[in-house]
Structure 1
């Protein structure tokens, strides 16, 4: 009987995306550790190939009724919300440095982007340029993570700079909200006083301040609930590791119900959840968040690539031509952030010299956040398209935003391999600058124990051996294959390392510092089905490894001793008692 191919949208997308994921995954270590490229540009190319200007033109699966705008807004809210919550969980905040980056620097970024757009596009009102310029202004947390967590940054960028960029990229996506509604209110209201009154009361006081308060409340409640569950041993490992992502999804939905800035609330809640470092330290050894990031980034940027409006890049009737877009993109990449950072870097305590200011100033990619604000602007103004300025916004916001995202992928993501080639050509090895370990070290009070007036100053330890980029294509220095090594090199805290060493076995420390021999959150409730022979062979191979410790109790005791150094005498006695009990078993 003849076989008829079922070219349904689900079959087409699942087969195409799955095949690309398999092929990319097969060479992912090579791409990320040797070519210094993340998954975002690959996913964009996949989206272009599967989109309406690619294979979808033959299958006619892509929606052409504008539904992709609503889908894109919903997808970007959820994905960015999860990403921001993860950033809030992982990083320590330098409040003085963030205050400078989020207020004067970001305001100058907005004005510089607006000026570039205003000069590049003819007959564009200034208020319209202010609205369009909001989206590309904040640093994108998704692409920033690829820059500051990759192998290049691990070798050449100080951990305090990496943490600063991660924290700022998470916060400024939410802080762009008042900038957007300042311009929108000036556009909607007849008088400036009415616009400013609505902006102060509705946007700043209710939406932004309410988001911060709501994020703190939800994060605090989730932390207390998590501490209660771990104290009672009611939560398993899978639920524990996905706790932050579930909280982010809840905040995106509930924050939207109250018309809060849900992205800002997710970031604040993530930091509140890990305020005492307990959740951060317990998740330090897990790669669940990295796997989640990979899937979300691939899906989102593939969707972004599929929705690129190529025809809109050449619309002379709207004043848009390829030449003008190219000039605008180059101007934005150069002038958007770099001049502001070079002028104000002395006000940022975490940045120590002009070279660090240049890195932070240039490598500020445009991506998922710009896409979110583009879709949000379209939704906000789609019903108010009577005046000329609003019509011009709806005409130019898509081609301008997509062009800037593509230019950022080229100018920021693909710039890293070129810089690495230059370093190799000049014979420059690892030039990571000394940073402050205080930025990586938490305390029970939730703030760094070594914060000083400069928020910096201590030397950071050398690069972790287990995350070092090795020269052997097959195995690392520790005998592990590339598939056993993560390509997301997060700076690790000293306390997190010792705690994870002590909790590597079945037990773990609770949030109050007491030892729990049977910590439920260290146990998986997913009892995998595997052949006994396979498990036995795995255990035998592990026991024959040359780097295996002679006695597990010795390793655990040493790790526990390191973890408890500097703590109270009662805690030290308790740990010693636990170790003696295990040694006698």
Structure 2
């Protein structure tokens, strides 16, 4: 337990230091998750050995920690733009969720076959890696540098996609788990997953509407106190996550739906300060998860994967998403430049860690699941952390005939 408390203290200190240099960080080929991950490696058993975390504690921290962080992050994504702007991105988001995400699962699973994995395990790894992570995506599309460099439509598309597909990846993961575990029936799993998604969405609609109605009622004759007004969406995210979990439904999807409905019902004057608080929490609350990941990285198991591990990483980064965006710019109504940007920046991060931990919690015991999944998440943190600031600058240099930076198309 002292190791865990030391991790908390170091993660908090790291977050403070990074916050002090927050603007500069957004202009460097570096990200806060990269720094937290590196610190975890330094503190872990491979170097200083100041912190050691057992597999049981690892799985618990990654499951519940990543669940909470993803919930807060999708709430921030839901509040990042006015809901009136959603109509501009409905087509690309639908295609990203309905076509690109399943294809990403297939490609990632197929790529893992080069590691000699059985087909069922490869399918589960592909499903865990298919959602776009809202935490890492936020570092690309939020903040002053992103607002100056990128069209609002690009930022809005990636925000909405990363918010919604984290919940909708659950059916793919659940079906893959059912095929891997002989005691599970695929038919029964499909029915259960349909219940989790549909009822989760209903819980989100009801909770978001009640929260929005409550804000309207509270501000009819007087303003809310400033402190509860600012953190209300965070409280809503935690409440919806808890209720959805108790109801046995898809909590991540429920939180995002609740955020969209709540966003629709409150005024811009209320949404914008709340959104700023949510972004700050989203940006720094995830650092302990990445620090823990750095501590528990399975270096020995990575070495056992051999040279094929590098091929696997390259295949996933190159083929998981980019080719499909390049093939769909016309139906998505995206200029080629925007398609390339969105095709590259679809990072894997906390949401993939959540589904890896969820799979372990559901009874998948093959150690290669965490070894391969954590390898790809680590590679994603590095690749997208290094490329986010240069990628925005390249986008500006290339110019765009379809959108001006910061202005919706």
TM norm. shorter chain > 0.5: yes
Decide whether aligned partners of structure 1 residues 275 and 49 sit closer, same or farther in structure 2, where only a CA change above 3 A counts.
Answer: same
Query: Could you tell me whether the CA contact under 8 Å between 1:157 and 1:433 is conserved in 2?
Result: no
Kindly tell me: are residues 433 and 403 of structure 1, through their superposed partners in 2, closer, same or farther at Cα, counting changes over 3 Å? farther
SS in 2 for 1:180: helix
Structure 2 CA distance for partners of 1:212 and 1:422, relative to 1, 3 Å: closer
Unaligned runs of 5+ in 1: 1-6, 383-390, 436-459, 464-490, 494-585
* Structure 1 residue corresponding to 2:382, chosen from 406, 410, 414: 410
Deviation at 1:369, TM superposition (A): 0.7
Quote the Cα distance in structure 2 between the aligned partners of 1:433 and 1:236: 45
CA contact (8 A) 1:143 1:367 kept: yes
Task: Report the CA distance between 1:135 and its aligned residue.
Answer: 1.1
Q: Which has the higher helix share?
A: 2
Give 1:186-585 correspondences, 5 Å limit: 186-188=179-181, 195=186, 197-204=187-194, 206-233=195-222, 235-278=224-267, 280-285=268-273, 287-315=276-304, 320-321=305-306, 323-349=307-333, 351=334, 353-382=335-364, 394-419=366-391, 429=397, 431=399, 434-435=402-403
Q: Distance in 1 between matches of 2:115 and 2:199?
A: 37
- Over residues 305-364 of structure 1, what are the superposed CA-to-partner deviations in whole Å (9 max), with x where a residue is unaligned? 22212222122xxxx22x111110000000001111112232213x2x222111111111
Task: String of CA shifts for 1:233-289, please: whole Å, max 9, x gaps.
Answer: 2631110111111011011111111111100110000001011351x4423246322
SS in 2 for 1:238: helix
Q: Which structure 2 residue ranges, 5 or more long, are not aligned?
A: none
Distance 2:342 2:179 in 1: 32
Question: 2 CA distance for matches of 1:221 and 1:15?
Answer: 37
Q: Offset of 1:188 from its aligned partner?
A: 3.9
> How many angstroms apart in 2 are the aligned matches of 1:199 and 1:267?
23
Distance 1:431 1:147, change over 3 A: same
Q: 1:492 to 1:289 in 2, by over 3 A?
A: farther
Please tell me whether the aligned partners of residues 220 and 273 of structure 1 are also in contact (alpha carbons under 8 angstroms): yes
1:28 to 2:10 alignment: no
Is 1:219–1:268's contact at 8 Å kept on the other side of the alignment?
yes
Q: Could you list the per-position Cα deviations for residues 481-506 of structure 1 after superposition, in whole angstroms to 9, with x for gaps in the alignment? A: xxxxxxxxxx899xxxxxxxxxxxxx
1:49 aligns with 2:39: no
2:127 pairs with 1:134: yes
Equivalent residues of 1:252, 1:266 under 8 A apart = yes
Instruction: Quote the RMSD (CA, aligned, Å).
Output: 2.7
Q: Secondary structure at the match of 1:52?
A: coil
Distance in 1 (CA, whole Å) between partners of 2:230 and 2:104 is: 36
2:142 alignment counterpart: 149
TM-score relative to the length of structure 2: 0.90
Indicate the SS of the match to 1:231.
coil
TM-score with structure 1 length normalisation?
0.64
Measured at CA, do residues 17 and 233 of structure 1 come closer, stay the same or move farther in structure 2, by a change above 3 Å? same
User: Aligned equivalents of 2:252 and 2:201: distance in 1?
Assistant: 10
Alpha-carbon contact 1:36-1:150 (below 8 Å) kept: no
Cα displacement (A) at 1:46: 1.8
1:54-102 deviation digits (Å, cap 9, x = unpaired): 43x2x4x533252221121011111110111121122343333222111
Tell me the CA shift for residue 11 of structure 1.
6.9
Q: Distance in 2 between matches of 1:379 and 1:8?
A: 24
Q: Secondary structure at the match of 1:53?
A: coil
Q: Which residue of 1 aligns with 2:93?
A: 98
Q: Which residue of 2 aligns with 1:37?
A: 30
Select the structure of larger CA radius of gyration: 1
Provide the rounded CA distance (Å) in 2 between the counterparts of 1:158 and 1:362.
Answer: 16
- Name 1:121's counterpart in structure 2: 115
Against the structure 1 CA distance between its residues 15 and 245, is the aligned structure 2 distance closer, same or farther, given a 3 Å change threshold?
A: closer
Taking the aligned partners of 2:291 and 2:7, their CA distance within structure 1 comes to: 11
